[in-house]
Amino acid sequence: MGECIFCKIVNGEIPAAKVYEDDLVTAFLDIAPINFGHVLVIPKEHHQSVSTVPENVAGRMLKVASRIGIVLKRRDEYDAYNLHLADGTAAGQVVMHAHMHVVPRGVEDNFRWNWRQLTYPDGKAAELAKELAEKITVALSNTEE
Ligand code: 5GP
Ligand code: ZN
């Protein structure tokens, strides 16, 4: 993955402010943070989508991200953290190497996710849940994106 910026960080070809590294994952400060201490946790192996990251690596990503979140929230500036992962351009993924954001949050940090809340028409939620349940069972036995 010659041109992937995060692969270059993993390989030490470009600098990053690393905060953690083990056999499976690397974590470093986001270059343009939402709040100071915003960290990215990435698999060392290149995957565009988190859906193809092996389960043990994905599990390590979540474990490391949540423990980094704990470290961040114990600092005086923050009270909590968000974990965020964009999978695909329409979801806001800009760097095409799967990564989990750990965003430290304070009650007065003046940052709001633009989170809207729609309402399902009558019967639509049950219908959609049934359709998804069938497809998810199949998807879990597959490995492609
Ligand atoms: P995405 O929108 O793909 O979920 O987030 C990509 C993140 O990577 C952004 O928050 C951006 O600031 C960060 N980023 C992009 N290029 C670099 C880089 O070269 N070094 C570091 N440390 N972060 C980067
Ligand atoms: Zn990569």
Distance CA 42, CA 110 (A): 27
CB 5 less than 6 A from any atom of ligand 1: yes
**Is-catalytic flag, 99?**
yes
29 CA distance to ligand 1 middle (Å): 9
For residue 7, the surrounding DSSP H or E stretch is helix 5-10
Instruction: Read off the amino acid at residue 104.
Output: P
Give the pLDDT confidence score for residue 1 in this predicted structure.
63
- Report which ligand 1 atom has the smallest distance to the Cα of 101: 4
Residue nearest to atom 21 of ligand 1 (CA): 31
Residue to mutate (ligand 1; options 31, 50, 61; most atoms within 8 A of CB) = 31
> Residues of 96-127 as b/e, b for ≥16 C-beta within 10 angstroms?
bbbbbbbbbbeeeeeeeeeeeeeeeeeeeeee
CA angle 54, 57, 63 (to 5 degrees): 140
Give the pLDDT confidence score for residue 143 in this predicted structure.
78
Give the pLDDT confidence score for residue 24 in this predicted structure.
98
- Report which ligand 1 atom has the smallest distance to the Cα of 84: 4
Tens digits of residue pLDDT in 40-55: 999 999 999 999 999 9
Question: In order along the chain (145 residues), what is the average pLDDT of each group of 10 residues?
Answer: 92 97 98 98 98 97 98 95 98 98 96 93 98 94 79
CB of 101 closer than 8 Å to CB of 35: no
Contacts 24+ apart (CB under 8 A), 16-21: 19/68, 20/64, 20/68
CB of 5 closer than 8 Å to CB of 95: yes
97 CA distance to ligand 1 middle (Å): 10
Structure tokens at 45: 């192996």
